[in-house]
């Protein structure tokens, strides 16, 4: 191994001001999720036991933050504020879970939504991460949402604003960009992109992603782009639609594809294959 390379790594390590244990950070959000939705392998037999577990989680989070921030007071403040926000986050997630149960005929019970629905997991991690984003915490929000992305195929930027309830069905391939605004009672299916027309770094501080108003349904593989694009409330966006312009409330937008079905007895077209 070249001495220059060893020296470069040493200097980078020496100059680093944070200690990031990525696995510990990811494990923590899984622990919080399992605790809130009764997915741990133990029962709590009293309210005091629940309170003790919450204090343990706060202590673990505080330790994680201390390693990142190198500031005990700031770490404690962030952990306390996050803990104080948990009841409201939990209520929003219960709304999400009930909405999924009520909307999906394949869902049989809340426990199934909690344990087996990747959309619900991605929404939960987003809501935790969004709280830290509001608290202006660096690194952690994106680590959490990218962890959920790796597990579910659903990519939600922690800075996006998403109302409750919110329903993601199937979910694989969904992308929700940083400045997206989504209202309440919105349903999104797999492959949907809520993105930007341009990815220029110069537009970093501008609104780049669309606004989805209340009671909108967006079907699979639809792409909606642009910071000036507003999807009016109670609209339905069909599958494979490409939109860069706003639509009025109560709109039905669909992609009209030509489908040709040939009789099996008709002469097949000649297929030319070049190898």
Q: What's this model's pTM, rounded to 2 decimal places?
A: 0.89
- Determine the pLDDT at residue 264: 67
Question: Residue 135 CA to chain centroid, in angstroms?
Answer: 18
**DSSP H/E element including 14:** helix 3-15
C-alpha angle 154/148/134, rounded to 5°?
100
ω into 116 cis (within 30 of 0): no
| Region for 250 from its dihedrals, namely left if φ exceeds 0, alpha if ψ lies in -120 to 50, beta otherwise | left
- Architecture, CATH, for domain 173-275: 3 Solenoid (2.160)
What is the distance between the alpha carbons of residues 15 and 119, in angstroms, rounded to a whole number?
39
H-state helical runs in 37-190:
47-69, 72-103, 110-116, 118-134, 140-152
Tell me how far apart the alpha carbons of residues 189 and 173 are, in angstroms, rounded to a whole number.
9
pLDDT number for residue 273: 43
For the chain, where do the domains classified as CATH 2.160.10.10 start and end?
A: 173-275
pLDDT at position 274: 46
Alpha-carbon distances of 186 from 35, 120, 213, rounded to whole Å: 27, 13, 8
Listed as ranges, residues in the chain with pLDDT below 70 are 201, 203, 264-275
- Tell me if 185 sits within 8 A of 162, measured CB to CB: no
For the beta carbon of residue 210, count every other beta carbon within 10 angstroms.
27
SS3 label, residue 200: coil
pLDDT of residue 86: 96
- Write down the architecture of domain 17-154 according to CATH: Orthogonal Bundle (1.10)
DSSP state of 220: T
- Return the pLDDT at 252: 96
The helix/strand/coil state of 11 is helix
Residue spans in the chain of domains classed CATH 1.10.3130.10: 17-154
Enumerate the β-bridge partners of residue 156.
176
Whether the Cβ atoms of residue 93 and residue 114 lie closer than 8 Å to each other: no
């Amino acid at each position: 191994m070249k001495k220059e390379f060893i020296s470069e790594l040493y200097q980078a390590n020496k100059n680093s001001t944070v200690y990031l244990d990525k696995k510990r950070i990811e494990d923590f959000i899984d622990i919080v999720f399992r605790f809130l939705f009764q997915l741990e392998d133990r029962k709590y037999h009293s309210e005091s036991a629940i309170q003790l577990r919450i204090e343990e989680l706060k202590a673990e989070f505080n330790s994680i933050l201390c390693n990142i921030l190198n500031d005990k007071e700031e770490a404690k403040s962030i952990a306390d504020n996050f803990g104080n926000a948990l009841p409201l986050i939990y209520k929003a997630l219960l709304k999400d879970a009930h909405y999924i149960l009520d909307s999906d005929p394949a869902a049989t019970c809340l426990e199934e939504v909690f344990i087996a629905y990747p959309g619900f997991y991605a929404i939960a991690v987003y809501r935790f991460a969004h709280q830290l984003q509001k608290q202006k915490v660096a690194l952690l929000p994106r680590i959490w949402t990218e962890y959920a992305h790796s597990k579910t195929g659903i990519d939600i930027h922690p800075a996006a604003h998403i109302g409750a309830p919110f329903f993601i069905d199937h979910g694989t391939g969904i992308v929700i960009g940083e400045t997206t605004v989504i209202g309440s009672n919105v349903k999104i299916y797999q492959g949907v992109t809520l993105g930007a027309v341009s990815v220029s770094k110069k537009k970093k501080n501008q609104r780049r992603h669309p606004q989805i108003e209340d009671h909108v349904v967006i079907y699979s593989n639809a792409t909606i782009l642009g910071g000036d694009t507003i999807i009016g409330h109670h609209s339905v966006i069909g599958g494979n639609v490409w939109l860069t312009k706003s639509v009025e409330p109560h709109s039905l937008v669909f992609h009209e594809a030509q489908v040709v079905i040939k009789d099996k007895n008709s002469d097949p077209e000649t297929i030319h294959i070049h190898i």
